[in-house]
Structures are given as C-alpha cells and as structure tokens.
Amino acid sequence: MKKPTTPKTKTSSIGQKLPSIYADGSEMDEMLKMMEKLLHWAAIVESSDDAIISKSADGYITSWNKGAQNLYGYKPSEIVGKPVSVLMPPGKQDDFPYIMGQLHAGKKIEHYETKRVTKDGRILDVSITVSPIRDSSGHIIGASKIARDVTERVEYERRRDDFVSTASHELKTPLTSQLAFGELLEEMIDRNGNAEYKPYIRKINEQTGKLIGLVEDLLILSRLRGGRLPIENKLFSIHKVVKQAVESLQLTTKHDIELRGKTERKVRGDSNRIGQVVTNLLSNGIKYSPKADKIVVKVAEKNGFAVISIQDFGIGIPNEYHGKIFERFFRVSDTDERTYPGMGIGLNFCKDIIERHHGKIWLASKKGEGSTFYFSLPFAHGK
Amino acid sequence: MENNTAPKKRILIVDDDPDIAEAISLILSSKGYSSKTTCDGAEVAKLAKEYKPDLILLDLLLAGYDGRVICKELKGDKSTKEIPVVMISAHPSAESTVAKAGADGFIPKPFSIDSLMSNVEKHIRL
C-alpha cells in the first residue's frame, strides 16, 4: 500500500493544475492521461456537427451534444432525462420498440434512415447509428446514438425519383401508340398481302418492345431506390400467380411455356409483386434463348417452402458471374450478352422482392447450356 | 365470336390522347367490334347513356379529369352501373387503385393487341 505524501503540483497539457497525491507520481500520471483522453473525446463529441446522444437501457436521454442541440433545437437542460421517443414523430413511434429490441439483443443499428421531429415541430430525415454501451461485466447499460441530417439528400433523391417516374410515364404514352399502330400494321400486312414489308415492321415492333422494357427498368429502379415499392401482406395462391404470369407471357411469345407441378398451399405477401418476379424471370428466359422454343416452369413444395423454377435453353451464364448477377446495375460483360438490351435492374428487383417475402433466389447455369432461376417462398402457416 | 347477323358489340373508348384512342378503335374494328371515342372526360356519362356501350375502356388520367372519379360515377348511376369498365393507364401504381373505383379490369400501357383483346373479351357484357 502506498503512503500519501505531500501533494505536488502537476500541470496537465489542458492547463489544469491537479495535485499529485503519490510520492512517485506514477498513478497520478496515469489518471491525468486518462482524464486528458476523456476530455479530448468529450471535445470531439461536443464539437461534432452530428448529433451524438446517449441514452439509458430503458430509452431515457442521458447526454446531448451541441450537434444534437443544433439538429433538434433542444438544450441539454430541456431534454436530458426525457424519453428518446419525444424525437419520434407520429408514424415513426414504432422505431422505439424496434431500436430497443435490437439494442437489448446487443446489435448495432447502422445508417438507419428514418424521420425525427425537432422542438419546433419540423420533420427531418435522419440517418442514425445506434450502438449498445456495456458495463465492465458486459451488461448493456445504454446506447450511443449518432444522427445525421439527410433531409436535403432525401429531398433531392425524391425529386430525382419523381422525375424518373414521370418521365417513364410520359415515355409510355407515345410508346403505346407506336406499339398499337405497329401491331395493327403487321396484322394489315397479314391480311392484305405486301409480305415483303413484314420483316421491317416486325423489326420496328421488336425494337418498340425493347424500348418498353428499358422504360420499365427505369421505373422499377426509381421505385427501388426510393424505397417506395409497397408490398402487400395477403394470403395468395402461388400456383395461381405463376399460372397467370405464364398465360399472360404465352400471349406475347413464340416460345412454348410449359408449366409443371402444382401446390395448393398459400404464401403470404404481395401477389402482384411475385407475379412481376415470375414475369421478369420468364421474360429473361425468352430474351436470352432466341434460338430455343421452350421454357419450363416448375412449381414444387420443399421443406415448408414453395420452390419455383424457370428454365430456359439459351445462351447461359458463365460461372464467374453467378455471384454478381443479382447485384443492381451488374451486367454480364461477355460480348454475347452485351448485345441484349437491359440495364441490370430486373434481377436485382426480383431479389429485393423475394427477400422482402423472406424467400431466396438463386440460379444454376452454364454458358451455352441455358439457365434455371429458382426462388423459394415460405408457405403461410396453417394453410 | 361475332357473326354476320348478330349486332356488333359496342365499346366506348375514353382517352385524351387521340392517337391512342384511334389505335384502339382501329384494333377493335378489325376484330369485329364497333366503337365510339372521346377525349373529353365530361362527355363520358352522357355518351354512356346515349350510346349504351357493352364495355367502356377508360383512361385513368384524362386532361382535367380523374378516370377513377368518372368510373365511380358510372358505377353509382343505375342506368350505367351494369356497363363493365376496364381502366387503362401508364401510371405505375394505378392497378391497385382502380378496383376501389369499381373498375372491372385494368390494362397497363403500353399494351399489345393480344393483351387488349383478351381483356375486352373477358369483360365485355354478353
């Protein structure tokens, strides 16, 4: 045990004079270093433009930096001790149980985009990161939260997405006339002769079809990026949805689309979106197998999941691209595939939709041997 | 199928784009239907009563009019409520909203002749 001696005066680099209570001064140095470090961190927190808040394990605010004051308008004396839910506007109150649930599970929440309300009632778009704080025995005693104002960025993205959405809608109107008159002309040629013109009008119609596909891609992209693709949550027959998509596509293609298998069981989710996934995968199958004349669609049950497969007999996808094929904007860079229109959005859309239904999507394919795309969806319980 | 003696089924086409209205009219004519077109949302109720169509193809966004409101009015009037209404739109989220307006069907724009005709045949009053 060390014996206290006459205090010496030590001057820390932050200008504070502190007494040294030990003869050799070593522990005092440690303490000073620790305090310096703490003050250094405190200065960083206090001068940050981001709002840095800490809260207790039951969600009460315990500290509040200047960035938080600038962002939300409350002084520390007005907000410390209040529940963090006062910052959550109507419609975002569900954030509280979600964040607390993650926190108590010891999970960090990173860059979660949501809305918060300021002292004067303005609604802000914020990106928040919440990390659990543990005591020396590992128990979660609270959380730190860093919030950044992303209102301007979100507004910019909203305008951009609205523009893309409006532009694609405006593009579809002339395309509707173009397609309708083009197909009419093709039918007239069939009726009235002049067969020598038919290949040309057919080419025009095919190109119109490609243009329509690209416009659809743009539209899907704007909605995916905006996170505004609404998903219903209703029971539906997966077999019926697949069958409808097959019948609808069959009207537009020379490929014979064969539907095999059946299930009576239902899944929960958005039948329109799942229908779009099937249509998308079927369209891809048709597009990438121009020399084949068949697509095989199978519906099966496996371990509580509906498994749907769509098999084409076309150009296939080299193995090295299988890991990336569902990434947004990814396109196979082989010369063969490059000649097909597309923007690398369709499969990413399918993945997004299937994952939002708690399912999986994957493929089996070899270059030159065709592709089979699979997706699975959990069956609804009790049905 | 239409035969030579049966009266032709009548379809009212409502679209504020005259080219699209004309294209639909030509397609329907080539398939044995007779049709009348209008670009004016204000005329729809009157034409529905006078022309007595067996089906109405109604664009969702007409200049100055919301096709869904027109559809609700048609379905709320006892002289027109039995006429099937199929709405047409290029608007991405339209499909989920037309059923609430009482529409019997929906065709997304752009549409192929096959898609138009399968919807017409499915919904037309027999």
pLDDT digits (tens, 9 = 90+) for B50-72: 999 999 999 998 888 999 999 99
Strands B61-62 and B65-66: antiparallel
ipTM of model: 0.87
Within-domain flag for B64 = yes
Q: For chains A and B, count residue pairs whose Cβ atoms are closer than 8 Å.
A: 65
Cβ contacts of B17 on chain A, cutoff 8 Å: 173, 176-177
Cβ contacts of A168 on chain B, cutoff 8 Å: 92
Q: Locate B120 and state its tokens.
A: 């017409």
Given a cut of 90, whether residue A72 has pLDDT beyond it is yes
Q: Which of B92, B95, B110 sits opposite A179 (nearest CB)?
A: B110
> CA B38, A170, B25 angle in degrees (round to 5)?
30
pLDDT at A344: 76
Please tell me the pTM assigned to this model. 0.62
Within-domain flag for B99 = yes
Q: Which of A168, A230, A252 sits opposite B114 (nearest CB)?
A: A252
Cα Rg of chain B (Å, integer): 13
Q: Locate A370 and state its tokens.
A: 């065709």
Given a cut of 50, whether residue A5 has pLDDT beyond it is no
Confidence tier at B48 by pLDDT (50, 70, 90): very high
Task: Say if CB A266 and CB A235 are below 8 A apart.
Answer: yes
**Distance between CA A31 and CA A21 in Å, rounded?**
11
Minimum distance, in Å, between the CA of residue B14 and any CA atom of chain A: 14
* pLDDT 10s digits, A83-116: 999 999 988 888 888 888 888 888 888 888 899 9
Q: Locate A324 and state its tokens.
A: 């990336």
Within-domain flag for B58 = yes
**Cβ separation B90–A248 shorter than 8 A:** no
Task: Say if CB B87 and CB B105 are below 8 A apart.
Answer: yes
pLDDT at A52: 94
Within-domain flag for B1 = no
Average pLDDT, chain B: 91
Best to test chain A binding among B13, B17, B19, B37 (most A CBs inside 10 Å): B19
**Cβ separation A184–B115 shorter than 8 A:** no
Cβ contacts of B118 on chain A, cutoff 8 Å: 251
**Cβ separation B27–A168 shorter than 8 A:** no
Q: Which residue is it, tokens 């080419």?
A: A203
DSSP codes of every residue in B52-91: --SEEEEESEETTEEHHHHHHHHHHSTTTTTS-EEEEE--
Best to test chain B binding among A173, A187, A215, A232 (most B CBs inside 10 Å): A173
Within-domain flag for B91 = yes
Phi, then psi, of B59 in degrees rounded to 5 = -70, 145
* pLDDT 10s digits, A18-65: 555 555 667 788 888 888 888 888 888 888 889 999 999 889 999 999
Among residues A47, A3, A53, A51, the alpha carbon closest in space to that of A24 is found at: A3
**Residues spanned by the domain of B51:** 10-120
* Ranges A69-78, A147-156, A206-215: which has the least confidence: A206-215
Confidence tier at B86 by pLDDT (50, 70, 90): very high
**Distance between CA A7 and CA A25 in Å, rounded?**
9
Angle between helices A151-192 and A198-225 (to 10 degrees): 160
Strand stretches in A29-152, DSSP E:
51-56, 61-64, 109-117, 123-134, 140-149
Average pLDDT, chain A: 85
Cβ contacts of B19 on chain A, cutoff 8 Å: 177, 181
Task: Say if CB A312 and CB A370 are below 8 A apart.
Answer: yes
CATH number, domain of B63, equals 3.40.50.2300
Q: Which of A187, A212, A230 sits opposite B110 (nearest CB)?
A: A212
How many distinct structural domains can be found in chain B? Answer: 1
Within-domain flag for B2 = no
* pLDDT 10s digits, A317-338: 988 888 888 887 777 766 666 5
Cβ contacts of A181 on chain B, cutoff 8 Å: 19, 23
